[in-house]
């Protein structure tokens, strides 16, 4: 335990911790486990009443991860890998919530988590090198370090429609679906949004609702999940292969345990071979389709051929040709928005109780007491579902009032865009680490694998500080500016973000535009982080304990 890190019982003095961790999702749980391993006192504040983060909040029908279970899991404990039994290729929300609860219990994490508690403010005390943290329970604590595990997709985006407050039915955002569910039997349901969430929820809601209206503004590419149960033999093989898979994940640009594509470009093979490769990849399904060829995300021609293949496949699934064309009026290359993974999505439009409404052609004008009105028509509804996404990457961080050196608000620092060093720290905000922050690969990877890499790096960095009696870490503003420049430069070489979406911040009014993911690959990112640490934490500035000089 480091200096003055003990609970102070005097109620007038803020409780003091070595580390405060924000959030008890996948990142916060693992961070707590590792901080304890260093002998540090840690407190986690979690705004929900349970663990799991994304998988605590997103309880809408059909919610499941679209990364395979055998990749979307912790790798830090072999015992955990061996004892946990995944049941499906793509795990459902309930299964994932059970998993994170199991992790919390297995590693005895709950005793350091304060549930139902949001962090409202974190203020850096420059004289003492400590963060002063105020929570929604009006409790103030102090900590030497803050680790934000607040999530990339946790601040919900609910667009404000005129008249929304007059609606007499029920309105709900998908990430606020109640624990007990909503029985939509006999209801007229409207879903706004056809991103990954809408595409998962729509087929499930359609099975129960009397009628389902889908309000689609931007059609998108979606690839069949080809979900399947994991039988005993597959489970045994999976458990046997975890270590080998870990090596594959480590070498992969997206942190997934898949082998690299058979050929690097769609253009280097003849048409018959290309079609065969695409058919094989389509039959396999899942998010890996985006990597059928190495250059799908970088070469416009390769992308075009792949996109046309997918469009033809979708067309075959939808009986009504007008509906098919509306679903296929896609205005961006495949992969320029998050590739959606679907189960029975397109087939759902063949049901008599489902209507697709094009709100690009006729925008939503207002919500009325009885339903929703577009510029062309009115729809009577009992339930309006907002599958309208999140203020991604920076939303959760900026929802808190974070003030760094000299009281500088993070909101002010990032008013023109989120500059960070490695996506881990922001200069002027010493001793504050971000897990999967802007400027890291974040959700542009198998996020739980990136989370582990971040937490491991932060843990090693803190161990370095403890060993060397260092009190404070910050990033050199020049190193930060150079990293941020690289993030933008690499993004500009890909098709990622070549269209408006949450990836570019375009879904939030007034948000600075730009891709905030490091797209050079998680394997490269990991190497850079390791190299920087090995080179005496190049680009970071430390302050020894009891000394105001920096090193
Ligand atoms: P997304 O991908 O941001 O999708 C939100 C959807 O909501 C998208 O179809 C939006 O249309 C639609 N939307 C948002 N505001 C409106 C308004 N005002 N009118 C009509 N339609 C609207 O969020 P998801 O939750 O689906 O997925 C987020 C991530 O979670 C996903 O990328 C995965 O990483 C997991 P638009 O495209 O803006 O025209």
pLDDT for 6: 38
Residue nearest to atom 35 of ligand 1 (CA): 196
pLDDT for 9: 42
Ligand 1 within 6 A of 507 CB?
yes
Q: Rounded to whole angstroms, how far apart are CA atoms 88 and 165?
A: 40
Ligand 1 pocket: which of 217, 335, 342 to mutate (most atoms <8 Å of CB)? Answer: 217
Burial of 217 (0-12, 13-18, 19+ CB in 10 A): middle
Ligand 1 within 6 A of 384 CB?
no
Atom of ligand 1 nearest to the CA of 443: 34
pLDDT for 257: 86
b/e burial code for range 403-425 (CB count within 10 A of at least 16 → b): bbeeeeebeebbeebbbbbbbbb
pLDDT for 121: 98
| 244 CA from centroid of ligand 1 (Å) | 36
Residue nearest to atom 33 of ligand 1 (CA): 196
Atom of ligand 1 nearest to the CA of 193: 7
Q: Which two tokens stand for residue 4?
A: 């003055």
Q: Which two tokens stand for residue 155?
A: 């601040």
pLDDT for 548: 57
Among candidate residues 235, 151, 241, 157, the one with its CA nearest the CA of residue 195:
157
pLDDT for 551: 56
Alpha-carbon distance values, 158 to 155, 164, 385 (Å): 10, 11, 10
| 179 CA from centroid of ligand 1 (Å) | 23
Positive/negative CA dihedral, 394, 396, 401, 407:
negative
Ligand 1 within 6 A of 58 CB?
no
pLDDT in tens, 425-465: 999 999 999 999 999 999 999 999 999 999 999 999 999 99
Residue nearest to atom 6 of ligand 1 (CA): 193
Ligand 1 within 6 A of 359 CB?
yes
pLDDT for 494: 87
Ligand 1 pocket: which of 195, 202, 374 to mutate (most atoms <8 Å of CB)? Answer: 195
pLDDT for 264: 87
Residue nearest to atom 3 of ligand 1 (CA): 389
What single string gives the DSSP state of each residue in 76-121? S-HHHHHH----BSS-BHHHHHHHHHHHHHHTT-GGGEE-S--EEE
| 219 CA from centroid of ligand 1 (Å) | 10
Helix (H, G, I), strand (E, B), or coil: what is residue 221? coil
Distance between alpha carbon 390 and the CA centroid of its chain, in Å? 10
Among candidate residues 198, 190, 194, the one with its CA nearest the CA of residue 218:
194
| 194 CA from centroid of ligand 1 (Å) | 6
Alpha-carbon distance values, 333 to 35, 225, 309, 440, 518 (Å): 42, 20, 12, 23, 20
Q: Which two tokens stand for residue 450?
A: 């990136």
Atom of ligand 1 nearest to the CA of 338: 32
pLDDT in tens, 315-352: 999 999 999 999 999 999 999 999 999 999 999 999 99
What single string gives the DSSP state of each residue in 119-188? EEEEEEETTTTEEEEEETTS-EEEEEEEEE---SS-SB-----TTGGG-SSEEEEGGG--TT----BT-E
Estimate the crossing angle of helix 522-534 against helix 447-467, to 10 degrees: 0
| 95 CA from centroid of ligand 1 (Å) | 24
Q: Which two tokens stand for residue 290?
A: 């985006």
Ligand 1 pocket: which of 58, 197, 332, 513 to mutate (most atoms <8 Å of CB)? Answer: 197
pLDDT for 12: 58
pLDDT for 486: 97
Residue nearest to atom 30 of ligand 1 (CA): 196
Ligand 1 within 6 A of 437 CB?
no
Residue nearest to atom 31 of ligand 1 (CA): 196
Residues in the chain predicted with pLDDT less than 70, given as ranges, are 1-12, 547-551
Ligand 1 within 6 A of 337 CB?
no
Residue nearest to atom 5 of ligand 1 (CA): 388
Q: Rounded to whole angstroms, how far apart are CA atoms 249 and 238?
A: 14
Ligand 1 within 6 A of 446 CB?
no
Q: Rounded to whole angstroms, how far apart are CA atoms 397 and 419?
A: 13
Burial of 24 (0-12, 13-18, 19+ CB in 10 A): buried
Task: Sketch out the chain's domains with CATH numbers.
Answer: 15-155+392-544 (3.50.50.60), 167-235+257-386 (no CATH)
Q: Rounded to whole angstroms, how far apart are CA atoms 162 and 149?
A: 34
DSSP 8-state secondary structure symbol assigned to residue 516: -
Ligand 1 within 6 A of 193 CB?
yes
Ligand 1 pocket: which of 65, 191, 193, 329 to mutate (most atoms <8 Å of CB)? Answer: 193
| 364 CA from centroid of ligand 1 (Å) | 15
| 448 CA from centroid of ligand 1 (Å) | 22
Q: Rounded to whole angstroms, how far apart are CA atoms 470 and 541?
A: 10
Residue at token pair 């937490």: 455
């Amino acid at each position: 335990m480091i200096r003055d890190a003990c609970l102070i019982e005097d109620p007038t003095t803020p409780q003091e911790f070595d580390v405060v961790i924000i959030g008890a999702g996948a990142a916060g749980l693992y961070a707590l486990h590792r901080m304890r391993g260093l002998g540090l006192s840690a407190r986690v504040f979690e705004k929900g009443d349970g663990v799991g983060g994304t998988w605590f909040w997103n309880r809408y029908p059909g919610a499941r991860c679209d990364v395979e279970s055998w990749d979307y899991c912790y790798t830090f404990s072999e015992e955990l890998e061996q004892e946990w039994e995944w049941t499906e290729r793509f795990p459902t929300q309930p299964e994932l919530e059970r998993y994170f609860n199991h992790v919390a219990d297995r590693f005895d994490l709950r005793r350091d988590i304060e549930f139902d508690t949001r962090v409202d403010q974190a203020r850096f005390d420059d004289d003492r090198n400590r963060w002063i943290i105020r929570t929604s329970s009006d409790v103030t604590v102090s900590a030497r370090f803050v680790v934000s595990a607040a999530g990339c997709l946790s601040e919900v985006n609910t667009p404000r429609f005129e008249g929304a407050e007059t609606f007499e039915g029920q309105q709900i955002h998908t990430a606020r679906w109640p624990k007990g569910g909503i029985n939509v039997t006999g209801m007229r349901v409207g879903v706004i949004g056809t991103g990954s969430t809408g595409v998962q929820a729509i087929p499930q809601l359609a099975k129960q609702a009397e009628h389902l209206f889908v309000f689609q503004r931007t059609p998108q590419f979606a690839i069949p999940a080809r979900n399947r149960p994991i039988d005993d033999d597959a489970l045994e093989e999976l458990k046997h292969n975890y270590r080998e898979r870990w090596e594959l994940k480590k070498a992969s640009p997206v942190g997934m345990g898949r082998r690299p594509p058979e050929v690097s470009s769609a253009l280097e093979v003849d048409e018959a071979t290309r079609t065969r490769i695409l058919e094989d990849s389509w039959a396999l399904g899942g998010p890996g389709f985006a990597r059928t060829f190495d250059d799908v995300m970088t070469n416009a021609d390769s992308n075009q051929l792949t996109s046309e293949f997918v469009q033809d496949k979708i067309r075959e699934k939808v009986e009504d040709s007008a509906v098919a064309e509306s679903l296929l009026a896609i205005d961006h290359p495949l992969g320029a928005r998050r590739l959606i993974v679907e189960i029975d999505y397109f087939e759902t439009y063949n049901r008599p109780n489902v209507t697709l409404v094009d709100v690009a052609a006729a925008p939503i004008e207002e919500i009325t007491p009885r339903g929703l009105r577009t510029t062309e028509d009115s729809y009577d509804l009992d339930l309006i579902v907002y599958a309208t996404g999140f203020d991604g990457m920076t939303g959760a961080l900026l929802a808190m009032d974070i003030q760094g050196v000299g009281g500088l608000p993070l909101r002010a620092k990032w008013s023109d865009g989120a500059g960070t060093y490695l996506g881990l720290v922001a200069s002027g905000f010493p001793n504050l680490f971000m897990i999967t922050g802007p400027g890291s690969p974040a959700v542009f990877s198998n996020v739980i694998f990136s989370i582990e890499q971040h937490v491991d790096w932060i843990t090693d960095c803190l161990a370095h500080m403890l060993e060397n009696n260092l009190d404070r870490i910050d990033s050199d503003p020049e190193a930060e500016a150079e990293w941020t420049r690289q993030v933008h430069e690499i993004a500009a070489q890909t098709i990622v973000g070549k269209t408006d979406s949450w990836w570019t911040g375009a879904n939030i009014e007034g948000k600075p535009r730009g891709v905030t993911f490091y797209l050079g690959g998680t394997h490269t990112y990991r190497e850079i982080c390791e190299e920087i640490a090995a080179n005496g934490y190049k680009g970071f500035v430390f302050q020894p304990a009891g000394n105001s000089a920096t090193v």
